[in-house]
Structure 1
């Protein structure tokens, strides 16, 4: 097999550039073991890219990608015969890499990119543009700005304020910095990292695959765990900020208090406050809000809570000075953080644990949830050029359709409110079967472990058996009767039973629909943003709001998929959309850009139609996805490919430029 096209030499848009791989010196028997542990479409794509020979993709070996009800099918759903052929081809490909001593890979010719993506997607060309955004080897990757502030604006007095230095803020700061736009970043905390700096509770980790939770411009390949631990994500974010040169641009312990638009000078006049309470007034041409959605703790107003003499803490406000070994601990809530804390508490040796459950969680099978990456993956990352990056692309590719088909409602479905479709009912049946096996012999627990709402209607957690094991522990008491009141010694449940505890952990979630709570944002005509929303946050492209010129939200209304897609992708695209909007302002010589109300209405109507089709959008479902108006304002109902289309162009017909 021979190279069929000349390579393109360009600088990769990646803060973690791939080093030359190690030489392959293993025997055929050793290589066969590696191939057996590889994700075959990824390995064949890697070999084709590294050799420049598309014939390594094989004929008739395109993964078919059957719908995944619970977890993705291995090798994209390849048949056993396809897998056997692919393994033989992959083994020969590894031998060629060894013989030719190929240790690096260059940016691919466009036709090779299209061919490999066509192979990986099973011919779904509509996914290609969004996937190229994630592919370093694509010459038209398209995430980084292709313009420079100095070229468009010269000596113009123009600057952007970025609020927040979490995942979204780092993405925005990097993209604006790549364009050379003057920025200032304010972060209310004493360190960067957002939710990953604040959430330090025992057991904290991703509940999405690690490789799907990273930036397109910072493709780390040596992640140690399949689902990264919290400290690993925080270390990654710190590393990204250092590599991007952002740390000196961040003002820590600084909060945005107020932002007022001035028609007189076409700028935002902002007030910030530091940790000493000192306020500072300054002006900016644009504001990018990267304030997190799951950032404001929600602690219900429990009667008598102030009387409790023990230790209390919300999961986001974890006290490292508290030792719970041998202690009597109450955990209130059974959402994502409780799901991680409860097994950790049992493993760490709490004396007793009382779990107060309002509603049971659905859990997706994830047997490798606590596992490190496999030996085969580690070998392939070290020996096959760009394998980790192709694997990352594969994870994102599988997330485009995700489980959308299994959580889409059928009109008039008779199984409501326990399911929304025949497919959804099949998923429910399988999940109930798994729960029944895990809780065999404990009908008392099983009766309370099966949710009374459709799968996918609320956030689905990852199940490797530790939750059921924690519930079964002799140290655990499950309470489903609610909380009547606190006492100095503990908590009295809805049945009048007092549970004496030393520590109370509020795993009660956040206030996601209260966007920008605590920040006063006053737009054109003196209208305050929260008054405009009136409890129903809406934004065009999830980013902009009419009457608030050049004010962009990175984690705005309806950002975030729950059955499909990558949050990182959406945050990056929102940031890149803001960069494109600023470019249009500079090209027009305008003061700012403002989205038209009609454009917002069209976009929101489209998003609402999508959400009404989903399990979480059904009228009988209650969750944090919905705001006080009963509208789903937190969740994206479509795919990443759809959001690519939404954010690809700042359409002039949807906007007005202010002079």
Structure 2
């Protein structure tokens, strides 16, 4: 690609937040040098190469080595100090070129340039390229947008309509892809607004525990996020804006809950029962049903003796009552997982007393910027360097592909150190304990209880910027590790006889994630109910299709959740795209439906289970919400996003039966 080959895009970019022009650079050389000093160099170099049309600046010696992350991120992907200094000089020259050549428009990125830049960011992992092009969205190929149109493939005289259940992150992804293909659909939402878990969870401190730019759609690459880890309301606003830009807002039917779906073999349709705002149930028929009801949706509220006696306020974190004034009150928080980790630091300074009931301590990864806004430098780059946000998002994706898998993979017959699964896992454990020791200095009893009794990575790891320890070491805070014995009218009594008088009890006790489709009756072929088929062990091919349930697709189904690597949005988009590909196959063949074979599901499950058994969370002595009631890990995807890309690239004919 020549240094000056800058053309406008000749194709529509698959990005609802697409920006044609950027602010001109007016800063002098010294000011630009200061900005470069604060920039993330791999993302900036990629953006500059694309904007100037000069990929030669991406010299081999500047490639980020993608040094694996144990606990702390490596600046610039692990570039050496020498490479960093050279990269700064190259980046400064690139910014000067943008300024002097007055480049403010988005250039066309041809295939050759894309390969050059992706090879630079991925350190030569060409096998990642197709997936990365999907996430980048700036190339003509491999975008997630469908390449076919319903009107062009639907047989004459035939109609086909899908039902999408849910308007959270998964439902919006599915609806957007189906809308792009022109496939008729209805989308229903049981709540009164869209957003799924993000419209339900309104507790103090709610925010992402993954970096913001890793938590967005490839087709909706918002650039001006205010925080490095977005607050809950920011995510809700993003989803609302995505729905509006995609033309979905007016299509969502609120207050409509799916009660049941029954497969009509003769007609080849799903007969659904939908309850509308508590009124009489309506019967509707659809050719396909896409379940996008999510995993973390059913609150888990433990049962304790005497709960009904308590005269104070009780609420689960997902059912937070914004009208409750907790300030100046005695508050109990039950649980020390992800929601507790956000709630406790958010409220402890303003409550009269705080008692945190802990069963298991959480492992926490250092994240100094967990509550930080994006830097002024980052905001400047987003405004003035064409497509910098897209390249930064892609860089985040690259760093997340291999993630921290190396820290949680178990070594065979490992027994050299307790509560770890490998030499590397033990090293991580020791490093994290060292961090905790500093945070709880002077509080030896708290430190003892702050160290988890299971290997790092066996359960969800939280983000640590010191606020958890600061809250627990406050004078008016108590960490209670004795099990709860009973509730009284005025508080909670523990097994050791301690009576904690409290005004408010907050259940930060998580969800029932393995109870997929709980509360919905799905009846497939030969009258088989999906819960009877699963018997408490939810399984789906690619996390999407289930044998005996034709044209029934799950988005965010079993075994697609990532925990130490990858992007949830990618998994949800790919599941949606896979479902759409399946519909395409049905229409092309003029079949009524397709039904995945049991053999295909068995192969998929065996493959996933074998890998999960190699991980910290798959060890026989570990108990975690990743496992279902049968003890099988049914939540977690044990591979990278690359394997899911490959698994969902095609709907293979030999894995499905086509019904006519």
TM-score, normalised by the number of residues in structure 1: 0.99
RMSD of aligned Cα (Å): 1.1
Residue 316 of structure 2 is aligned to residue 321 of structure 1: no
Q: Which residue of 1 aligns with 2:518?
A: 517
* 1:265 partnered with 2:263: no
Deviations 1:391-434 (A, max 9, x none): 01111110000000011000111146510000000000000000
Deviations 1:53-106 (A, max 9, x none): 111213411111111101331111100000000000100110111111111223
Aligned mates of 1:508, 1:448 — CA distance in 2: 18
Structure 1 residue ranges (4+ consecutive) displaced by more than 2 angstroms after TM superposition: 1-8
- Deviations along 1:347-396, one digit per CA (max 9) or x if unpaired, are 3x100001000000000000000000011101111110000110011111
Query: How many angstroms apart in 1 are the aligned matches of 2:418 and 2:638?
Result: 20
| Counterpart for residue 356 of structure 2 | 355
Answer yes or no: is the 8 Å Cα contact 1:9–1:106 preserved in 2.
Answer: no
Alignment partner, residue 622 of structure 2: 621
For residues 234-273 of structure 1, what are the structure 2 equivalents within 5 Å? 234-273=236-275
* Alpha-carbon contact 1:183-1:249 (below 8 Å) kept: no
Structure 1 residues 451-460 or 416-425, which shifts more?
Answer: 416-425
In the alignment, is the contact (CA less than 8 A) between 1:330 and 1:356 conserved in 2? yes
What is the total number of aligned residue pairs between the two structures? 658
Deviation per CA, 1:582-603, whole angstroms, max 9, x where unpaired? 0000000000010000000000
Any unmatched runs of 5+ in structure 1?
none
Deviations 1:169-208 (A, max 9, x none): 0000000000000010111111100000000000000000
- Is the contact made by 1:542 and 1:558 (CA closer than 8 Å) also made in structure 2? yes
- Please list, as runs of the form range in 1=range in 2, the aligned pairs for 1:553-632 lying within 5 A after superposition: 553-632=554-633
Instruction: Find the residue that maps to 2:270 and give its secondary structure.
Output: strand
| Equivalent in the alignment of 2:158 | 156
From 196, 201, 204, the equivalent of 1:202 is 204
Give 1:267 shift: 0.4
SS of equivalent to 2:62: coil
Counterparts of 2:329 and 2:416, CA distance in 1: 44
Q: Is the 8 A contact 1:417 1:620 kept in 2?
A: no
> How many Å separate the matches in 1 of 2:513 and 2:417?
27
- SS of the residue corresponding to residue 164 of structure 2 reads strand
* Inter-partner Cα distance in structure 1 for 2:128 and 2:424: 24
Residue 169 (structure 2) aligns with: 167
SS at match of 1:558: coil
Q: Is the CA contact (8 Å cut-off) linking 1:542 and 1:574 kept in structure 2?
A: yes
Matched residue, 1:377 = 378
Q: Secondary structure at the match of 1:60?
A: helix
Counterpart contact for 2:5–2:53, Cα < 8 Å: yes
The more displaced of 485-494 and 147-156 is: 147-156
1:60: which partner in 2?
61
Where do residues 494-573 of structure 1 align in structure 2 (5 Å cutoff)?
Answer: 494-573=495-574
1:657 corresponds in structure 2 to: 658
Report the Cα offset of residue 5 of structure 1: 8.0
Hey, what's the Cα distance between the residues in 2 that align with 1:184 and 1:417?
Answer: 53
- How far apart are 1:250 and its partner, in Å? 1.1
- Counterparts of 1:38-437 in structure 2 under 5 Å? 38-153=39-154, 154-347=156-349, 349-415=350-416, 417-437=418-438
* Aligned position for 2:476: 475
Distance 1:261 1:289 in 2: 15
Gaps of 5+ in 2: none
Contact 2:8 2:106 in 1 (8 A): no
